[in-house]
A and B are shown apart, each in its own frame.
Chain A
Amino acid sequence: MEDITLKEIIDYAKINEDNARQFYLNAAEHAKRDNVKTFLLALAKQEQTHIDRLNELDKIVDKGGRIPKPHGIVKPLGYAEHLGNVTIDADADYQQVLKFAMAREKEALESYQKYAKLVDDKKAKDLFLLLAGEESEHLRGFENQYDDFMKEIENW
């Protein structure tokens, strides 16, 4: 992999998060179910908090400060392993959106882990691992939500 600066990594991550944010906003606009619309808007808001977090890292880099050390990967529950190609449309329900969100976080986690392996620079590697760690937290958060949701509905 060519040399990549920390700023470029953060910009790349911001683009990913912003794409996700835009996607959720767009999906919310088209969602037929009010509850799904609300959930999608909440997801878009959540992506904005991730962008805010990346902006903070950006400022640290600008000031020549130290990027926090990677805090490790949160072990996933494995629910995203067999999701396949998940898509959502205007008719999507809460479960489908949750599955989509899990699949997206898993993809982001795996891509950062892959890039961390490809770069030689220690700081760049650590930054990718830091981002991977954060994505793993997001993934686990959605997995927990999915498990909670299943627990709630299956009591039937």
Chain B
Amino acid sequence: MSDEIKDEKPKKPKVPRQPMPEQDAHKRARNFEEVTTGYTEEQALLEASRCIQCKKPLCTTGCPVGIDIKSFIGLISEKNYLGALGKIKESSLLPAVCGRVCPQEMQCENVCIVGKKNEPVAIGRLERFVADYQGKHGGGDLPKCAPSTGKKVAVVGAGPSGLTAAFDLTVLGHKVTVFEALHKAGGVLVYGIPEFRLPKAIVEREVKVLEAMGVEIKLNYVIGKIKTIDQLMQEDGYDAVYVCNGAGLPWFMGVPGENLNGVFSANEFLTRSNLMKAFDFPNYETPIKKFKNVAVVGGGNVAMDAVRTALRLGAENAYIVYRRSKDELPARAEEIEHAGHEGVKFQLLTAPVRVIGNDEGWVSGMECLQMELGEPDDSGRRRPVAKKGSEFVMELDAVIVSIGTSSNPLLFQTTPGLGQTKKGYIEVESEESCRTTKKGVFAGGDIVTGAATVILAMGAGRNAAKNIDKYLKDGEWWSKENA
């Protein structure tokens, strides 16, 4: 890798990395409009000109779905924006989504050769630009699909993984039905990520493309309740099933007081606000209580979404409570920065030990312990250590728990032969093959890996589609005993 970098001899770009236009922090902290407004054509062309068109580009290797980044940026430079979009779509179904929510700084941009001496090319922003260009100006054809194979595939879950798999399988000529438990397709893209980070119209647009291709999406359809996986295969004639229903069961802290009024999981809080549009009450029917002092426990992207939503709903003080330090916050740097600019307060190296309630059973505070990072252990990790006698109380009226999610046990309870890992996810032969312990049933995305990123879920959907296609042709399966 180092040789490749030397080969490229990065030159200093003539123009600096183009900043992303965004709403003023104070203004946006109180509205739900998109924070960043996207590159203008002029900015996109300037940014594209920073790409040195490496002979051996590393950016593609940094992308979990292997987008041909060099080529699409080259096409932007030629002002062939729809061509650039087509190039991205060879590898990724949802560029408008990924251009907004992917952690590019840890992936493609992290290995960008320009970034070795200067700021990397803003790949994600360019990806978003071409996707938004099509959204505004139209154009672009539906992908061509192979002739029908006569095979039927059921996809359980209409999140990024399921949508990607449905797209690829349809292109390959299989008949796909997506079963979605909620009343809208999109999974985390519609219930989790807030409007101010990902406008829902974008997701709706992508879903419509799938439907136009012939994918059937059945909403309000809970597999495991309405029909089991076995019924889909034995009674409804599905030849294969791809399970990608995400990890939607929230973890709680397991501390006293967690059942008080005013304690939410981030899932519930964000679902109310995003999917049910509670932020726009009474125009929409679902209410959401407005709180004055809100703490969100956790430090990931979901925690940032929840705390910024709380601010927009009117909180005077919105805190991130996280047990490690700023350097270990798992959220994207950009999200942390945006949250800070908007007025979110960071209560770091802090671990809650109980939630305190008032006489009416509502949250009135949270007792926390201060933590410090210990010496590095054998793995080099500095584990947080509780400081004795450091207890203190935060005055709050709401606590939003955002420490992760696990799998819903429903599918395991209703699907004999579906193996489960120690952490409660679906057991697969490998993340590459997506083959579960039950013949004909594949799984991928968060239900296999635990909560991860949109692009990784999409990558799993792509792997699954490839392996389902192979299975539908050769019928081969694996045996755990022989693995």
* Residue in B closest to A153 when the chains form the complex, CB atoms: B404
- Quick check: A150 and B386 within 8 Å, CB to CB? no
Q: Would you give the shortest CB distance from A51 to chain B, in whole angstroms?
A: 23
* Bound CA–CA A33/B418 (angstroms): 12
| Interface 1/0 per residue, B440-456 and A, CB below 8 Å | 00000000001110000
Binds B, one of A8-16, A21-29, A90-98, A111-119: A90-98
Residues on the A chain within 8 Å of B451, using CB: 153, 155-156
> B interface, how many residues as a size bin?
35 or more
Complex partner residue of A156 from B254, B386, B405, CB under 8 angstroms: B405
Q: Which residue of A78, A84, A152, A156 has the most chain B CB atoms within 10 A of its CB atom?
A: A156
- Quick check: A94 and B424 within 8 Å, CB to CB? yes
Q: Chain B: interface secondary structure?
A: loop
Q: Chain A: how many interface residues by the 8 Å CB criterion?
A: 29
With A35-B420, A35-B421, A39-B422: A156-B301 Cβ-Cβ less than 8 Å? yes
- Quick check: B450 and A95 within 8 Å, CB to CB? no
With A82-B369, A84-B256: A95-B251 Cβ-Cβ less than 8 Å? yes
- Quick check: A155 and B406 within 8 Å, CB to CB? no
* Bound CA–CA A39/B421 (angstroms): 10
Q: Chain A: interface secondary structure?
A: helix
- Quick check: A33 and B424 within 8 Å, CB to CB? yes
* Residue in A closest to B374 when the chains form the complex, CB atoms: A77
* Bound CA–CA A149/B452 (angstroms): 14
* Residue in A closest to B404 when the chains form the complex, CB atoms: A153
* Bound CA–CA A38/B377 (angstroms): 28
Would you list 7 pairs from A and B whose C-beta atoms are within 8 A, ordered by A residue? A33-B409, A33-B424, A35-B422, A36-B424, A153-B404, A153-B405, A154-B330
Given contacts A94-B406, A153-B405, 4 further A-B contacts (CB under 8 A): A35-B421, A77-B374, A153-B404, A155-B300
What are the 6 closest A-B residue pairs judged by CB atoms, nearest first?
A153-B404, A78-B386, A156-B451, A82-B353, A156-B300, A155-B330
**Which B positions have Cβ atoms within 8 angstroms of A?**
251, 254-256, 298-303, 323, 330, 353-354, 369, 374, 377, 383-388, 402-406, 409, 412, 420-424, 450-452
